[in-house]
Amino acid sequence: MDVSIVIPLLNEAESLTELTERITKELKAINKKFELVFIDDGSTDDSIEVLKALKADHPEIHIIQFNRNFGKSAALSEGFKTATGEIVITMDADLQDDPAEIPRLINEIEKGNDLVSGWKQKRNDPIGKTIPSKFFNFFTRQLTGIKIHDFNCGLKAYRREVIKAIPVYGELHRYLPVLAHWMGFKVDELVVTHHARKHGYSKFGLKRFFNGFFDLLTVLFITRFRQNHCTCLGLWA
C-alpha cells in the first residue's frame, strides 16, 4: 500500500460522501494505491450508516467504530494500527482540511521528510478557537524549542516508521512532531489551505486545551528525563 488516509470523526455524516470522493479523486490522479481508514469516535448521528454505504462502492475503505467517544488520540492510535501504507496522512472529516493538499504532503515525504505538519496560516475558524490556539502554539514552541507554527493542525503526513515508533494517548496527538523530532526523525511543516466548516458544528472545547497542557508537561518530562538519562549513560561509558 502506498498511502493510508487516517480520518477520525465524530458526527460528520453530512461531510463524509464529499470527503471520500475528493480524496479518491486526488489519489487516483497521482496513481497511488491507497486506503481510507475512518475511525468513528462514538458518533450519535448517521455517520456509521453513511460510511457503510460508501464502503459498498469504495472497497478501499476500512471502518473502525468506537461504542463511545474516546477522543482523537485514541482514534488515531487505532487508525495507525490499521494503516498499512508507507505514507500515512491524517486529516479531519469536516472538510476544513483540503484533500487537494494530499499530493503536496506526499511530495514532502518523498523529498526526505519523516513527518510534515500542516500550517493553517490563514485559518477560517471563529475567534473562540483561533485565539486559544495561538496561545497554545506559542507556549508549545517556547517550551519545546520546536519551531512548528500549528501543532493543532489535523492535516499531517508521516513516514510509516514514525507512527510505529510513537505511542499516542491522552492528548499526545498534538505533540507528535515534538516526539518525532526528539527521536531523530526529520520534521518539517507546510502551509495548507483551511476552509470554513460547511456542515454541523465544531466539537472543540477549552477543556481540550487544558488537557493538552497537562500532556505537554508529560512530554517535557519524558524528553528531558531521557536526555538526562542518555547523558548520564554517556558519562559512565
Residue 208 has pLDDT above 90, yes or no: no
* Better pLDDT: 132 or 176: 176
Name the nearest CA neighbour of 189 among 112, 88, 118, 121.
Answer: 118
- For residue 226, what pLDDT band results from cuts at 50, 70 and 90? low
Residue 25 has pLDDT above 90, yes or no: yes
pLDDT tens digit sequence for 4-17: 999 999 999 999 99
Q: Which CATH architecture has domain 3-236?
A: Alpha-Beta Complex (3.90)
Q: Regarding beta strands 115-119 and 61-66, do their DSSP bridges make them parallel or antiparallel, or are they unpaired?
A: unpaired
Per-residue pLDDT at 125: 60
The C-alpha cell that represents 118 in the structure block: 500542516
How far is it, in rounded angstroms, from Cα 129 to Cα 208?
11
- For residue 1, what pLDDT band results from cuts at 50, 70 and 90? confident
What phi and psi values does residue 91 have, to the nearest 5 degrees?
Answer: -155, 160
Per-residue pLDDT at 237: 42
Per-residue pLDDT at 61: 98
Portion of the chain with pLDDT greater than 70, in percent: 78
What phi and psi values does residue 70 have, to the nearest 5 degrees?
Answer: -105, -10
- For residue 235, what pLDDT band results from cuts at 50, 70 and 90? very low
How far is it, in rounded angstroms, from Cα 79 to Cα 81?
5
pLDDT tens digit sequence for 31-53: 999 999 999 999 999 999 999 99
CA 170 to chain centre: 14
Per-residue pLDDT at 212: 61
For the chain, give every domain's residue range.
3-236
Per-residue pLDDT at 127: 62
Exposure of 150 in the CB half-sphere (CA atoms within 13 A): 21
